[in-house]
Amino acid sequence: MIQEFKSKGKKYLIGLVWLFLLLWPLLGINADGTLTFVKAFSVWLYIVCASMIVVTIYIIHKKGLTLKLTKPLSSARNKIYAYTASMPKPLLFSIIGIIAFLFPFFTERYAQDVAINVLIYICLGLGLNIVVGMAGLLDLGYIAFYGVGAYTYALLNTFYGISFWLSLPIAAGFSGIAGCIVGYPTLRMRGDYLAIVTLGFGEIIRIVFNNWMQLTNGPNGILGIKPPSVIIPNFTNGFSLEYLYLKKLHYLYYVALILAIFTIIVVARLSASRIGRAWEAIREDETAAEMMGVNTFSLKLLAYAAGAVLGGIAGSFFAARMRFVSPESFTFIESAMVLSMVVLGGMGSIPGIILGVIALIALPEVFREFELYRMLAFGASMTLMMLFRPKGIIPSKRMGVRSEEKEE
Amino acid sequence: MEYFIQQLINGLTLGGIYALIALGYTMVYGIIQLINFAHGEFFAAGGYMGVILLSFLSANGYLATYPWLCLSGAIILSMAYCSLLATGVEKIAYKPLRKSSRLSVLLSALGMSIFIQNGLMLTQGVYDKAYPTIFSQGGFDFGNIKVSYMQIVMLLITILLLILLNLLVFKTRIGKAMRATAQDKTMSSLVGIKSDRIISLTFIIGASLAAAAGIMVGMYYGSVGYTMGFVPGIKAFAAAVLGGIGNITGAMIGGFLIGMIEIFGAGYISSEYKDVFAFIILIGVLYFMPTGIMGENIDDTRV
């Protein structure tokens, strides 16, 4: 026991010294030719204190002293789980649905704005989930399809004045085609190579958006996109139909809600279907799946296209809501964000991904003062999550051990 | 013709940079089959260390009197800094995950990359940092062909580092141990090679080469920014794949080729799409000959 603490403590101390060595040159060597220690030391001291607290909690936890605290908590959690599991599913869904429906009545603009963001990212996360979580193909350029959807609606609307609802299927179709074009040459590869090639394709699509001045107006973006509209009957002068543009935020919230619910239903149905099972077979062991008669290539392409279609729908809505698109919204870091939502939440599990999206979009809004440190914490939490809970917050039920792992 | 030769020289300079970064990717991939996503960030950290050290030295007036000494000192120190950074990243983010699935290692690498990038941003500021001028802007003129002093210095440093690396890998005991570990980790540890130490060493070598490349890029373009690691990182990865990933000579050749392709593509086809060429090469190589030029043996799980 003591031996273990000694070796661990030594490692911990070396780690702290190492951290100081890394921090000091960044903060202590000044461009005016002076050396300072105070700034680096104070930052370092903060980190040391924080890590001390974590380590103390860890030691207490290891010794079993927290059992008194965690036991009632975990039993309460289990009770909630059991209760929700025993509830009939339609009831549970309708409760969530009613809460989501009533949300704008009790909240401010700001909260609605965040909620719309959450809903868009739920669409994106679930779309990526088809590719990464279900079919097991790591895609780092997913945001490109979001961009294709956004630009399709933006261009159709500004050039031809086509309405949101009409261009939604067109945008979805274009993104699906883009997905097939990207997927066809890349899907022969596996694992890491696939990841890096999809990243390359994502960048290519963004560079094209950025440079095709005649069509996309380059880095300046496209302005003046119309929001979604609905046709309502007007009874003031007899009977007539007229367009109402949904400019108000809470109307947009409902559009986003409809799209998110649509996406959830599609993904849930797909995952329960024959195709979903085939995807999971490919994820678990591609060679074995092929042996069993699964047409791996076309199914992988289908997964890609399906993910792209959902991304494109989300993208169209994004364009309609912002009323402005520019290539800057579709950078690699957005792909990484969506991917980490999927991974943090738990690949392949729909409630997990919804939770992951809420954790990554809504939580940073709560800690608004630490805005600067947001991406730093995000990167660190991605690594820590992989180290301590690689299956995500709510792991998928049907997730086996990957064939590569067994070989090692 | 003169334009062609001018582009060739520019391509060589840029290609040397890509070769230096690509070596880090290829060595790490060769030894633990991992795409080190944070590698581009080592390159950026090297660039930042260079600007910090050189502006410190220039403010104290040393840079004007001993430019060569200051430059080599800055390069060596920033190489040391990036080695320190790389060992830490390897110990924290990669070593505990060596037995888990590739996806989780890749994501943990991605997380580290974002972390370092934002760490640099928070400590060094959002805006680009300007490099102090070390060498005069002039150069040699051969007719219409211009070769700046900076380009010559860069090429010399690159070639020196590449020769040193070749000597280390192919002529020393450590190099032999590295090659053995890359071939078979279990077998090499059975004959007494400490594979963990070799893996750390690989990360250190790769990161220090990237750091040197970072300083040179900073001096060449005159400034560094915290996002500078991403695009060169991908291009260098393309170079490593082009040369045959895991193959050191291949990465050098691939780096120079990618540099040339980019410069010639920008010069003769379109300068707006210059970033696209490397990606197209990457996709084309992976599609048509995934083993690359030097033909490293790749099994089913890798591609």
Alpha helices in A243-362 (DSSP H): 249-272, 274-284, 286-291, 296-322, 332-345, 350-357
Give B257's pLDDT tier (boundaries 50, 70, 90): very high
Q: Which helix (H) or strand (E) holds A325?
A: strand A324-325
C-alpha span between A164 and A154 (Å, rounded): 9
Residue B210 has which token pair?
A: 């990237």
Cβ-contact B15, B185 below 8 angstroms? no
In the A/B pair of chains, how many CB contacts fall below 8 A? 172
Please check the confidence at residue A337 and state whether its pLDDT lies above 90.
Answer: no
Q: Does B89 touch chain A (CB under 8 A)?
A: no
From B10's Cα to the closest Cα of chain A, the distance in A is: 23
Q: How far is B151 from chain A (nearest CA, A)?
A: 25
Q: Which residue has the tokens 């403590």?
A: A9
Please give the Cα distance from A146 to A316 (Å, whole number): 8
For residue B110, give the nearest of A25, A33, A336 by CB distance.
Answer: A336
Query: Would you say residue A406 has pLDDT above 50?
Result: no
pLDDT digits (tens, 9 = 90+) for B113-135: 999 999 999 888 888 888 887 76
| AA letter at B16 | G
Extended strands (E) in A137-290: 222-223, 229-234, 240-245
Q: Does B83 or A54 have the greater pLDDT score?
A: B83
pLDDT tens per residue across span B155-183: 999 999 999 999 998 899 999 998 888 88
A186-219: b (≥16 Cβ within 10 Å) or e: bbebbbbbbbbbbbbbbbbbbbbbbbeeeebbee
Q: Rounded to a whole number, what is the distance in angstroms from the first to the last CA of chain B?
A: 40
Q: Do A21 and B84 touch (CB under 8 A)?
A: yes
Percent of all residues in chain A with a pLDDT value above 90, rounded to a whole number:
21
| Top-ranked range on mean pLDDT: pick from A4-8, B51-55, B144-148 | B51-55
User: Span B1-12, mean pLDDT?
Assistant: 86
Cβ contact, residue pair A383, B112, below 8 Å: yes
Quickly list H helices, A212-273: 213-216, 249-272
CB B297 within 8 A of CB B247: no
Of the candidates B85, B62, B22, B61, which has an alpha carbon nearest to the alpha carbon of residue B242? B22
pLDDT at B138 over 60: yes
Mean pLDDT comparison of A228-237, A300-309, B145-154, highest-scoring range: A300-309
Whole-structure pTM value = 0.87
What is the pLDDT, as a whole number, of residue A404? 44
Q: Distance of CA B135 to CAs B70, B132, B159, Å? A: 12, 9, 19
Rounded to a whole number of angstroms, the distance from the CA of A100 to the nearest CA of chain B is 32
The alpha-carbon gap from A141 to the nearest alpha carbon of chain B, in Å, equals: 13
Q: Do B100 and A405 touch (CB under 8 A)?
A: yes
Asked if pLDDT for residue B43 goes beyond 90, the answer is: yes
Q: Is pLDDT of B297 > 60?
A: no
Predicted pLDDT at A40 = 84
Per-position b or e across B28-54, b if 16+ CB within 10 A of its CB: bbbbbbbbbbbbbbbbbbbbbbbbbbb
CB A279 within 8 A of CB A299: yes
CA distances in angstroms from A204 to A148, A208, B189, listed in the order given: 12, 6, 43
Euclidean distance between CA atoms A312 and A315, whole angstroms = 5
Report the percent of chain B where pLDDT is more than 90: 30
B91 or B136, greater pLDDT: B91
Query: Contacts of residue B272 in chain A, CB cutoff 8 Å?
Result: 207, 211
Q: What is the pLDDT of residue A75?
A: 82
ipTM of predicted assembly, 2 dp: 0.84
pLDDT at position B76 is 93
- pLDDT score recorded for residue B303: 33
Residues of chain A in contact with residue B110, where contact means CB-CB under 8 angstroms, are 336, 339-340, 379, 382
* B256: CB partners within 8 A, 6+ apart: B11, B12, B15, B16, B18, B19
Q: Which residues of chain B lie closer than 8 angstroms to A337, CB-CB?
A: none
Cβ–Cβ below 8 Å for B88 and A18: yes
Query: What is the H or E stretch that residue A193 is in?
Result: helix A191-211
- Judge whether B60 is closer than 8 Å to chain A, CB to CB: yes
Distance from CA of A81 to the nearest CA of B (A): 28
The verdict on a CB contact (< 8 Å) between A191 and B301 is: yes
- B282 vs A197, A343, A384: nearest CB: A197
Average pLDDT for residues B283-290, to the nearest whole number?
80
Average pLDDT, stretch A188-210?
Answer: 84
Instruction: Name the H helices within A34-88.
Output: 38-62, 67-86
State the smallest CA–CA distance between residue B12 and chain A in angstroms: 23
A345, A394, B89, B97 from A389: Cα distances, Å: 10, 10, 19, 11
Chain A contact set for B114 (CB, 8 A): 333, 336, 375-376, 378-379, 382
In chain B, which residues have their Cβ closer than 8 Å to the Cβ of A204?
Answer: 276, 279-280
Nearest to B45 by CA among B109, B111, B123, B110: B123
pLDDT at A1: 56
Burial A84-102 (b: 16+ CB within 10 A, else e): eeeeeeeeeeeeeeeebee
Check whether B296 has a pLDDT greater than 60: no
Judge whether residue B285 has pLDDT over 90.
no
Task: Report the residue from B59, B101, B115 with minimal CB separation from A383.
Answer: B115
Alpha-carbon dihedral sign for residues A315, A317, A320, A322: negative
* 3-state secondary structure at position A223: strand
Type of residue found at A53:
I
- Residue from the list B122, B273, B301 with its beta carbon closest to the beta carbon of A376: B122
pLDDT of A229 > 70? The answer is yes
By Cβ distance, the residue of B49, B93, B282 closest to A383 is B93
Chain B interface mutation, best of A11, A196, A340, A360, highest count of B Cβ atoms under 10 Å:
A196
Q: How far apart are CA A243 and CA A260, in angstroms?
A: 24
3-class SS at A295? coil
Q: How confident is the model at residue B15 (pLDDT cuts 50, 70, 90)?
A: very high
Contact between B303 and A190 using a beta-carbon 8 Å cutoff: yes
How high is the pLDDT of residue A398? 65
Distance from CA of A280 to the nearest CA of B (A): 16
At B184, give phi and psi (nearest 5°). -155, 110
Q: Residue A215 corresponds to which tokens in the numbers above?
A: 């069509």
Contact call for residues B69 and B285 (beta carbons, < 8 A): no
Nearest chain B Cα to A339, which residue? Answer: B107
Q: Using the predicted structure, report yes or no on whether residue A357 has a pLDDT greater than 50.
A: yes
Which pLDDT value is given to residue A173?
93
Q: Measured between beta carbons, which residues in chain B are less than 8 angstroms from residue A193?
A: 241, 286, 290, 302-303
CA-nearest residue to B299 within chain A is: A190
Model confidence pLDDT, tens digit, residues A139-151? 888 999 999 999 9
pLDDT greater than 70 at residue B188 = yes
How far A137 CA lies from chain B's nearest CA (Å)?
9
To test the contact with chain B by mutation, choose from A22, A192, A385 the residue with the greatest count of B C-beta atoms within 10 A, namely: A192
More confident residue, A65 or B285: B285
**How far is the alpha carbon of A405 from chain B, nearest alpha carbon, in Å?**
6
pLDDT at A121: 94
Residue B147: enclosing H or E segment and its boundaries? strand B145-148
Q: DSSP letters along B153-222, please? A: HHHHHHHHHHHHHHHHHHHSHHHHHHHHHHH-HHHHHHTT--HHHHHHHHHHHHHHHHHHHHHHHHHHHS
Q: What's the distance, CA A61 to chain centroid? A: 32
Domain spans of chain A?
Answer: 2-77, 101-407
Scan residues 274-303 of B and list those with Cβ closer than 8 Å to A. 275-276, 279-280, 282-283, 286-287, 290, 300-303
Instruction: Tell me whether residues A138 and B48 touch, CB distance under 8 A.
Output: no
Nearest-CB residue to B234 (from A191, A199, A373) = A199
Q: Best interface-test mutation with B: which of A386, A389, A401 has the largest number of B CBs within 10 A?
A: A386
**Is 50 exceeded by the pLDDT of residue A201?**
yes
